Amino acid sequence: MAQYDSFFEEHFPSSPQPNRVSFTLRKGDRLLLIGDSITEANRHSRMLETYLAVCIPELEIEVRNIGKGGETAEGFLKRIESECLKYQPTAATICYGMNDAGYLDNNLAGVNAFTTASKKIISMLKATGVRIVLASPGCIGRLPTWEFVRELNGTLDGINTTLLYIRNEAAAIAKAEQLPFVDHFWNLYRARFASAEKHGAEYAVCGADDGVHPSWAGHVVMAFGLFTALGFDGELGSFTIDLASKSAITTGDHIFKAETDNAYAFVSHRYPFCAEGQLDKDWFIRSGMTLVPFNQQFNRMTLKVTGATASRYRVAWTDDNNMLNEWHIYTREELEAGVNLADDFQRTPFSNNFHRIDDLVFQKQSVESAITWRETNAQWTESSLGEYEAERVRLLDQIKREFVPVTHHIRIEVIE
């Protein structure tokens, strides 16, 4: 407990979490992701867009990532008309503060500039009817080795103190404006402690290279907070198999086809979120899922079994060609209560399709980044802009085409 207290003593948020404000994405929303390099990085932003594309595709949300490295809230005001409102967004997430802190200890001037600019951004977006989710900046996990930071004589604790001040201001703005709030600072700060206990001191939630740009695990923590604020319920469907009658019923856009030799075939029009990798390495999404209950809250694809007579069974979840060979053992009681296939199985029948779509999302958000940074390209022309926008539309269409129904099998065998 003493170690816990000393870790959190200096950077415990002085203002409480604002009351939860409900938020619902509407069918056909144009969702704009606004922020600095941590948004531009195509990590938690990519998780969000891929999740929308395959886990809740019926919403038909169009996402555009306009994150820009090095930007502050004040800097965004300079392009809010030309690179935000012109896209006619209906919903937006906003995450600034890391650069506003200036990598300085106790930078109250930076805090004040953040507050003033953020209020203006929110006012301008609200005036056009945009529904907003506001996020605080994260924390840093180590002092960046960048030369300008050394020249500023910043310290790890001092910079985090400035970021905490900005977090408190963001929370106050969210409360005053009645906006959903994502507390990236506190979520990542707690994850730093939890990850060290689970995976060791070298596990870098906030990034191994500079301590500022989170690892994949850190972006999972950020995605978890964002999904919570966006109001996702995470119920992706269920398969209830009756072993006695060799039949099944489903919920959530899944269709039972037939049973053959203890294998139950289904066709699914909704995917789980697929993540693989070692659980103790911060560069894997699946590792980040050990720090927050991502699968439990947002990735539930449930198998229930009735009519079981044996005490234990082994279960495989295979693709249409039975090419996967991952088995899990469950008791009868566990199967009757329901097990989360999306959590238990690292490789799923959806994985290939999922990763193809996820790669297309990455390509699309990379095109959006190029559009955002067009003023730095001396050879950029209006014709170039048209070509990039056409490529973005092409990738959007390809994402939709690649999202096809998946046939899969749940095989259940008695363990003698």
Domains and CATH numbers, the chain: 2-15+24-230 (3.40.50.1110), 235-349+406-414 (2.60.40)
pLDDT band at 225 (very low <50, low <70, confident <90, very high): very high
Full-model pTM:
0.95
pLDDT at 8: 63
pLDDT at 375 over 60: yes
> Torsion-angle region of residue 249: left (phi > 0), alpha (psi -120 to 50) or beta?
beta
Residue 10 has pLDDT above 70, yes or no: no
Distance, CA of 101 to CA of 28 (rounded, Å) = 36
Beta bridge partner(s), residue 250: 239
Q: What is the mean pLDDT of residues 243-264?
A: 96
Instruction: Supply the mean pLDDT for the chain.
Output: 93
In the chain, what is the straight-line distance between the N-terminal and C-terminal CA atoms, in Å?
A: 46
Half-sphere exposure of 45 (CA within 13 A, CB side): 32
How far is residue 343's CA from residue 117's CA, in Å, rounded to a whole number?
41
Cβ-count burial 298-319 (b if 16+ within 10 Å, e if not): bbbbbbbbeebeeeebebbbbb
pLDDT score of 1 more than 70: no
CA distance 55 to 49: 10
Whose tokens are 């941590």? That residue is 38
Q: Looking at the predicted structure, is the pLDDT value of residue 307 above 90?
A: yes
Q: How confident is the model at residue 238 (pLDDT cuts 50, 70, 90)?
A: very high
Does the structure show a pLDDT above 80 at 311? yes
pLDDT given at position 4: 53
Across 20-27, average pLDDT: 93
Q: Find, among 208, 229, 160, 179, the residue nearest to 12 by Cα.
A: 160
Question: Once rounded to an integer, what is the mean pLDDT over residues 24-45?
Answer: 97
Give the pLDDT mean for 77-105: 95
Which band of pLDDT confidence, cut at 50, 70 and 90, is reported for residue 151? very high
pLDDT of 194 strictly over 70: yes
DSSP line for 258-307: EEETTEEEEEESS-PPP--S-TT-TT-HHHHTTTS-HHHHH-EEEEEEES
pLDDT at 259 over 60: yes
To 10 degrees, what angle do helices 351-372 and 382-402 make?
170
| Residue 143 vs residue 1, higher pLDDT | 143
All residues at 6 or more sequence positions from 9 whose CB lies less than 8 Å from its CB, including other chains: none
